[in-house]
Amino acid sequence: MGHPVFLIGQASEVGQVQGELQGKFLQERLGRILTRAEQTQTLPQLKERAEKFGEVLSEASPHWLDEAKALSAAAGSELWQVLALNSLPANFWGVESEFYVPAPLVPKDISRAKADTRGEELVNPIEAQSLDLAAGGGDCTTYFALGSATLSGETLLHKSRDQYDEVQSAYIKHCEPFYRFVGGGDIGNLGTAHLHTEHFWSGANNTGSPLKPGLYRECVLSDAHVLRYLAEHCVGIDDILPAIEELIARQWLGGGSPGTGMILSFVDVDRGLVVEATSQRFHAQWYEDGDMVVRTNHFLFPEMQDDVLPPHPGSVVRYERAKELWEEQDGFTSIPSCGELSRDRENAPLAICRNPSDNLQTVTVSTSTSIISRHDDRRCQTHFRNCHPSYTPAIILTPLDRVSDSDLVSGAYNQQWRDYRGWV
C-alpha cells in the first residue's frame, strides 16, 4: 500500500492532490479519448459538450469545477478534457463500443508468470480485453437487505460494478463545507460509483433501461454525478427525493449512460429506497425491516414502463439469478455471502461476475459491500474489492475516518491487481 493522504479541504486542494497522484493514469485515458476524437473528427463536438457540462457544474456544483481545474492542472492535462471525459456523446466508441480501447495492462515475463501462478492457466492480456458485443448486457448488479433479513440484524448493501475496463480509485473525500463520503470509481470521473456517507447511509447507482426518444438530457449530471451530489448535500435518505425533484426541475438530471435512465439504491440503518429515473421524471419505493431487494439495469416499477424500451438480455438474466441467490439467503445474509454472490459465474457470459474473457464490452471492475449498524458506529464500514472480485482482497474503509491511501487514490493499487491478467 501507499502512504496517507487527505482528500479534505477546499475543492481546489482536493483536486490538486488527486491530480498529482492520478496524473499518469488520467493522461493515458485522456490520450485514448483524444485519439478517438481525432480519428472521428469529433474534437469540436467534445469541446462544445465540455463547455455545456461546465456551465451545468457552475450552477449545480461549482466546487466540482474548482476540483476539476486543480486536478487537470496538477495532472498536466486541460480542464475541457476532464469535462469532456465526464460528458462523452452516445456512440463515441462506436455503436456497440467496438472501437473502445481499454486501459493497458503491463506485460510480464512468461517464466515469472508460470512461477507466480504455480503453473495455472495463463491469460493473454489482449484476449482478456477483447470485445464481442452481440449479447449486450448493461452494467452493475446491486442488492440490499434490511434488519432481520441479515445474519447480524444490520443493513447490508452490495454493488458489483461492470464497466469499461478503466483504472479504478477508492477514497474518503470531503470538499468543505459539503459532507464527507467514502467513494470509488474510474480515474477522471467527477462522480462516484459507490458511496457511504458520514451520516451513515450508503448508495449505489446502476445504468437503467434504454429510454424512448426525448427522455434523456445531454451534458448534465450522470448517475455517478448524481450519487456524489446527493452524498454531499443530503443528511439522510429522507432528503434524497426532494433533491432529485430539484435536479429534474433545474434540468440537471441525465442518465446512466447516453440514452438510458438511472437506478439509484440507498439504505440507512432502518430503511431502503430505490429510485428509477429519466431526465424528466422518477418513481421511488421505500423498503423496511426484512426486505431484500435486487436491481440490475432495467426498470421494474410499473409506473416507469411507458418510458422505456425492452431491456438488454444480460440485465434480465443477471436479475433473475441474483434474485434467486439473494432470497435464498433470507435471514442469513452477511458480508461473506455478498462476496460469494458477487463471484457467481452461472449463465456466463451474462453472469453476475463478468470476466474479461467473456468478450463483452465491460468487466467487473470493482465491488463494494456496506454494512450499517445501530450498535456501533465503527461497524459502519464499506468493504471494497478494488478490482475483479474473484482474486482481489477486500479493503475496509469507514466514513468515520478521514485519511485515504495514496495507492487507492492514484489507481496504482487497482492497476497492480489488473496486471494479474497481464501474463504473456
Task: Specify if 397 maps to a domain.
Answer: yes
Helix H or strand E segment including 197: strand 194-197
Q: What CATH number does residue 217 fall under?
A: 3.60.60.10
Read off the pLDDT of each residue in 373-387 and give the average, rounded to a whole number.
93
Strand 363-372 to 260-267 pairing: unpaired
Query: Pick from 160, 139, 131, 129: which is nearest to 421 by CA?
Result: 129
Count of beta carbons in the 10 Å neighbourhood of residue 59: 9
198-230 pLDDT tens trace? 999 999 999 999 999 999 999 999 999 999 999
Going from the C-alpha of 113 to that of each of 59, 85, 125, 355, the distances in angstroms are: 51, 34, 12, 19
Say whether pLDDT at 110 is over 70. Answer: no
Average pLDDT of 359-364?
84
In terms of C-beta density within 10 A (0-12 exposed, 13-18 middle, 19 or more buried), how is residue 73 classed? middle
pLDDT of residue 215: 97
Predicted TM-score (pTM) of the model is 0.93
- Total tally of structural domains belonging to the chain: 1
Q: pLDDT tens digit string along 236-277?
A: 999 999 999 999 999 999 999 999 999 999 999 999 999 999
Q: How confident is the model at residue 127 (pLDDT cuts 50, 70, 90)?
A: very low
- Asked if residue 214 belongs to a domain, the reply is yes
At 137 the pLDDT is 44
Average pLDDT over residues 7-20: 98
C-beta separation of 46 from 218 below 8 A: no
- Asked, for residue 288, whether it belongs to a domain, the answer is yes
Q: Which of 72-81, 102-111, 280-289, 349-358 has the lowest mean pLDDT?
A: 102-111
Average pLDDT over residues 67-76: 98
CA angle 322, 354, 395 (to 5 degrees): 85
What confidence tens digit (pLDDT) does each residue in 320-361 have?
A: 999 999 999 999 999 999 999 999 999 999 999 998 878 777
Confidence band of 423 (pLDDT split at 50, 70, 90): low
Q: Do 41 and 96 touch, CB atoms closer than 8 A? A: no
More confident residue, 362 or 386: 386
Per-residue pLDDT, 360: 79
Q: Is residue 188 part of a domain?
A: yes
Q: Could you tell me if residue 367 is inside a domain?
A: yes
Domain range spanning residue 384? Answer: 130-421
- CA–CA dist 139, 226 (Å, integer): 17
Is residue 125 included in any domain, yes or no? no
